[in-house]
Amino acid sequence: MSTTATQAQPSRLRATLYRQRWPIGYVTVILFLFVLYEFILPSLVKGVTAPITAWLPVATINECLMWAIMALGLNVVVGYAGLLDLGYVAFWALGGYTAGWLMAYPFNWTLNFHLLSPVPARAPGTHINFWLVCIIAGTLCAVLGIIIGAPTLRLRGDYLALVTLGFGEVITQFFRNSNDIAGRNVANGDPGISSIDPIGTGPLGAAGIAPKLLSNSAAGNVWKILVLGLLVGLCIFISLRIREGRLGRAWLAIREDELAANMMGVPLVRTKLLAYAVGAFFGGVGGVANASMITTAVSPSGFDFGKSVLVLLMVVLGGMGNVWGVTVGAFLLAWLNSNGLKQIGVQLDSWFGTSLAGSLPRYNYLILGLLLVLMMLFRREGLIPEQRTAALMHTASRTEAESLGADSVEAASETEAFAHSDAKADALIAASAAAVSPVLNEPEPEREDVR
Amino acid sequence: MSESLPDSTQLGATPNSGADAPTADAAPPPTRPTATGTVDPVTANVLYADHITIKFGGLIAVNDVSFSIPPKSIVSLIGPNGAGKTTFFNVLTGLYQATEGTVFLNGRDVTLIKPHLRAAMGMARTFQNIRLFNLMTAEENVMVAMHPHLKAGVASTILRLPRQHREERQARDTARELLEYVGIGHAEGELARNLSYGDQRRLEIARAMALRPKVLLLDEPTAGMNPQESANFNDFVHRVRDERDMSVLLIEHDMSVIMKISERITVLDRGSMIAEGTPDDIRSNQTVIEAYLGKTGTREGKRNKT
């Protein structure tokens, strides 16, 4: 009894470990980054730490993580359901502004309301806990997604893309003019809302383990890795889980063949709306994370069309439909955009004596565009593609090949048959073929048309 | 997330599967709806299309065609190219709206009901040129069609609640059973695009059957099959009818298949119904022969010509 138990124990443990390999791997990476920047780097000599902090500063890691949330959200819409969304920045903006409304010092109104916020109780303005704001913003964006999706998702392909593009612009313009919406200052117009609350660390902060507020300081930035890491982890978790169920299948089916999916009982508008809503939820959370941890302020100029394109690029370059590809794509592009290009410029300068450090970051869209063109030429399916899509890009489907002509397929199967048969059969076939060939080579007699 | 369905049959419960199914010979003869009023065509038939007319612009694709599918029957729709068969098919499934006329499914007026709801109510189809979800596995293809019968929502999927887990497992079992039933049980994990042509046709039928329909609409199912496969198909359709309690409507070009398989044949030509009857009736019907071969093809035509 006991022996079987001890035998079963390790294998069961190994099976569990194998099944949970992505959460384990992911947590390890995030914890490693945290430990590296919190404990290891400060104790090392400057010669070792300098290149690390130059190439990958903590602030950049945080930015990458924030963009990963966005890319994962857009991946649900574009990668899973196959709906091209060129206005994804709208949800990011609305999420950011929700943070501006619910967790910042007032720009206009003086409604004082505090809920589990780290901000001192006597401070003016509405201050609600970061996690609650995330849920509120996500829900708000999901609702907005459904509202704009309901009329537009009846459109197909290109038309949908155009409408979403317009919608993204509308939202930006709305916030740009938001200082005077029917005579009311709704979101402070061009200057936007500044001084959004940082995240409080609650008991950890009180115990002196973590800084009390995760502000844009060196200490705060390191701890943000954990917060953002948790958010990204949740997004990955949701993306993976939702993919496996009834809804994920319906999305895939719609992506593959909308009409057939409809005929198989999949309600098109409802299913697409759900993809939109889930994607918008992620976008809203990304917006709050950005406003609270990266920029600490929101203004309309930050939410331009370029950002929509950037997120789409992350999804496409990373590998549409694959959660890991999209995450890697987000990291790569966010890194290039925030720090990588500058650092590459600095490196080139030190090698060749050029002066690229200042100009290279300004050419970011040119460089990203070139990257995209190269990817489309040489690796259309993305860095880490979805398994099923990878096959599509490089091989013709079986029926497609067969439609080119039964002859080619027959020829192929015959060659296969020859390859598998043994030598004796080969000889037999060859002999019979030789016997038949004079007949075959004879010109066909002219036949009268039977019809 | 759950759709409101007219029938609340449980997943995996295939009624009447095998045990007390009557044999092909013992199948009740299809009740022919008559105009005398002894049989109400709406309630007597699984599917009843009443005086359907479809116009595309000024073009009349289908002209005043009435058509019925009795329970547990095998009926066919034939006609030369461009006769309006597929158009008529698309009206039945809800892809097109009829300009005039009414469609009844299980005695309910479904004329204005959307395709996915009709599918959920018991109407499943295959496509003339195969339309599978190419980048999904055979098993997934079948599971997509269970969408209306599954209940899991967003939250229960993300949290993987026990109920959702059980439902998924049952759905997978049913899908495998269906793949086995149509004879491609070995290919459950293959992407649909990698299957052979014949297997893709089989997969389409399995997918349609996953909807647990009352009536299965097959659009040229034997296209591209060799004679042997066609013969097997004949048995298969009878098996589906007898064991799965489904009516089958076929659109076919292959006359040998049609004549062997059908209990009743409806012939369309240029949008209008020109004949309806048993295979023997149709075989000897002068109008049908003319429609297919042209007037000159018939003896009468030749006589006129000379």
| pLDDT, mean over chain A | 84
Classify residue B96: in a domain, yes or no.
yes
Hey, is B298 helix, strand or coil?
A: coil
Substitution target from A264, A274, A282, A400 for chain B, most B beta carbons within 10 A: A264
The answer, yes or no, to whether residue B26 has pLDDT greater than 70, is no
The whole-number pLDDT of residue A418 equals 43
Q: Is residue B126 part of a domain?
A: yes
Q: Which of A123, A331, A375 is nearest to A236 (CA)?
A: A331
B93 in contact with A, Cβ within 8 Å: yes
List Cβ neighbours of B129 (8 Å cut-off, separation of 6 or more). none
Domain stop point among A269, A303, A337: A303
Q: Are residues A123 and A242 in the same domain?
A: yes
CB contact under 8 A, B136 and A402: no
Q: Both tokens of residue B265?
A: 């044949």
ipTM of the complex: 0.82
Please check whether residue A298 is in contact with residue A196, taking contact to mean a CB–CB distance below 8 angstroms.
yes
**In a domain? residue B33:** no
Name the closest residue on chain B to residue A256, using Cα atoms. Answer: B133
Q: Which of A252, A262, A402 sits opposite B197 (nearest CB)?
A: A402
Residue A241 forms part of a structural domain: yes
- pLDDT score of A434: 52
Residue B306: pLDDT over 70: no
Q: Which CATH number do you get for residue B158?
A: 3.40.50.300
Helices (H), chain B: 41-44, 85-93, 115-122, 138-144, 154-159, 162-182, 197-209, 227-244, 255-261, 279-283, 286-293, 299-305
pLDDT band of residue A19 (cuts 50, 70, 90) is confident
Does the pLDDT value for residue B72 go beyond 80? Answer: yes
Minimum Cα–Cα distance from B3: chain A residue = A267
* pLDDT confidence tier of residue A333, bands split at 50, 70 and 90: very high
A288 within 8 A of A96, measured Cβ to Cβ? yes
Nearest CA in chain B to A409: B196
Q: Which residues of chain B lie closer than 8 angstroms to A249, CB-CB?
A: 136, 140, 143-144, 147
- How many domains does chain B fold into? 1
Task: Say if residue A408 is in the same domain as residue A296.
Answer: no
Nearest-Cα distance to chain B for A388, in Å, is 6
Q: Which two tokens stand for residue A57?
A: 């500063």
Is B36 among the domain residues?
no
Residue A48 has pLDDT above 80, yes or no: yes
Is A269 an interface residue toward B (CB < 8 Å)?
no
Instruction: State the pTM of this model.
Output: 0.83
- For residue A202, is it within any domain? yes
pLDDT of residue A380: 83
pLDDT (average), residues B208-228:
90
User: What mean pLDDT is predicted for residues A154-174?
Assistant: 87
pLDDT recorded at residue A283: 97
- Region A83-110: mean pLDDT is 90
Rounded CA-CA distance B151/B134 in Å is: 25
Residues of A in contact with B7 (CB under 8 A): none
- Asked if B157 lies within 8 A of A248 by C-beta distance, the reply is yes
pLDDT at A106: 81
- Determine, yes or no, domain membership for B1: no
- List B residues 229-288 in contact with A (Cβ-Cβ < 8 A): none
Query: Is the predicted pLDDT of residue A451 greater than 70, yes or no?
Result: no
% of residues, chain A, pLDDT over 70: 84
Which residue did the predictor score with more confidence, A220 or A397?
A220
Residue A194 pairs in a beta bridge with A297
- pLDDT > 70 in chain B, percent: 84
The answer to the question of residue A94 being in a domain is yes
pLDDT for residue B180 is more than 50: yes
pLDDT at B21: 38
* Domain end (from A285, A303, A321): A303
pLDDT band at B207 (very low <50, low <70, confident <90, very high): very high
Query: What whole-number percentage of chain A has pLDDT above 90?
Result: 48
Chain B CB within 8 Å of residue A268 CB:
yes
Q: Are residue A424 and residue A293 in the same domain, yes or no?
A: no
How does pLDDT run across A363-396, given as a tens digit for each residue?
888 998 898 899 889 888 888 888 777 766 666 6
Q: Does A72 touch chain B (CB under 8 A)?
A: no
Whether residue B166 lies within 8 A of chain A, CB to CB, comes out as no
Residues of A in contact with B210 (CB under 8 A): 264
**Best of B118, B151, B193 to mutate (most A CBs within 10 Å, chain A):** B193
Give yes or no: residues A80 and A199 share one domain: yes
- pLDDT for residue A408: 44
| B33 DSSP assignment | P
Tens digits of residue pLDDT in A424-437 = 444 554 555 555 44
pLDDT at B25 over 70: no
Put simply, whether A398 touches B (Cβ < 8 Å) is yes
| B38 confidence band (pLDDT: 50, 70, 90) | low
Domain encompassing residue A142: 56-303
Residue with tokens 């998924």: B168
Out of A237, A241, A249, the one facing B144 most closely (by C-beta) is A249
State the pLDDT confidence band at A406, using cuts at 50, 70 and 90. very low
Residue A210, pLDDT score:
84
CA dist B277 to A83, A371, A403, B30, B221, Å?
Answer: 47, 66, 36, 11, 21
**pLDDT of amino acid A303:** 93
Q: Which is nearest to B132 in space by CA: B223, B211, B201?
A: B201
pLDDT digits (tens, 9 = 90+) for A63-76: 999 999 999 999 99
Q: Which of B134, B147, B168 sits opposite A265 (nearest CB)?
A: B147
A239 band by pLDDT with thresholds 50, 70 and 90: very high
Token pair of A52 as six digits: 């690390």
What lies within 8 Å, CB to CB, of B286 at 6+ separation is B298, B300
Q: What is the pLDDT of residue A219?
A: 86
Query: For the segment A169-213, what is each residue's pLDDT rounded down to a tens digit?
Result: 999 999 999 988 888 888 888 999 988 999 988 888 888 888 888
Whether the per-residue pLDDT at A401 is higher than 60: the answer is: no
Distance CA A333, CA A312 (A): 11
A305, A173 contact by CB (below 8 A): no
A78 in any annotated domain? yes
- More confident call, A422 vs A109: A109
Long-range contact set of residues B282-289: C-beta below 8 Å, sequence gap at least 24: B282/B78, B283/B259
Residues A281 and A400 placed together within one structural domain of the fold: no
Per-residue pLDDT at B15: 41
Residues A298 and A407 in one domain: no
CA distances from A265 to A223, A376, B93, B94 (A): 48, 35, 11, 12
Residue B127 to residue A268, Cβ atoms within 8 A: no
Q: What average pLDDT does the segment B74-93 reach?
A: 90
Above 90 in pLDDT, residue B297? no
Averaged pLDDT score across all residues of chain B? 84
Cβ distance B154 to A278 less than 8 Å, yes or no, reads: yes
Look at residue B32 in the predicted model and tell me its pLDDT. 47
pLDDT score of B295: 66
Question: Contacts of residue B153 in chain A, CB cutoff 8 Å?
Answer: 247
Residues B203-225, mean pLDDT to the nearest whole number: 92
Cβ neighbors of A280 (< 8 A, separation 6 or more) are A73, A91, A138, A141, A142, A144, A145
Determine contact: A370 vs chain B, CB below 8 A.
Answer: no
Per-residue pLDDT band at B40 (split at 50, 70, 90) = confident
User: Which of the residues B133, B142, B197, B202 would you substitute to probe the A interface, choosing the one with the greatest number of A C-beta atoms within 10 Å?
Assistant: B133
Q: A interface mutation test: which of B158, B169, B200, B204 has the most A CBs within 10 A?
A: B158
DSSP state of B214: S
A253 at the B interface (CB within 8 A)?
Answer: yes
Q: Is B291 domain-assigned?
A: yes
Q: Is residue A331 part of a domain?
A: no
DSSP code at position B248: E
CA A288 to chain centre: 17
Residues of chain A contacting B144 with CB distance shorter than 8 Å = 249-250, 252-253, 261, 264, 266
pLDDT score of B39 more than 90: no
User: Residue A314 — very low, low, confident or very high, per pLDDT cuts 50/70/90?
Assistant: very high
Q: Which domain holds residue B241?
A: 41-305
Indicate the pairing of strand B123-125 with strand B108-109: unpaired
CA dihedral B4, B5, B10, B14 (to 10 degrees): -160
Domain count within chain A: 2
pLDDT band of A152, cuts 50, 70, 90: confident
The reply to whether B25 falls in a domain is: no
Please give the span between the terminal C-alpha atoms of chain A, in angstroms, as a whole number: 83
CA distance B283 to chain A (A): 20
The verdict on residue B3 lying in a domain is no
Q: Do A252 and B158 touch (CB under 8 A)?
A: no
| Contacts with B86 (C-beta within 8 Å, 6 or more apart), sequence order | B128, B219, B251
Q: Which residue does chain A place closest to B120, by CA atoms? A: A265
**CB of B160 less than 8 A from some CB of A:** yes
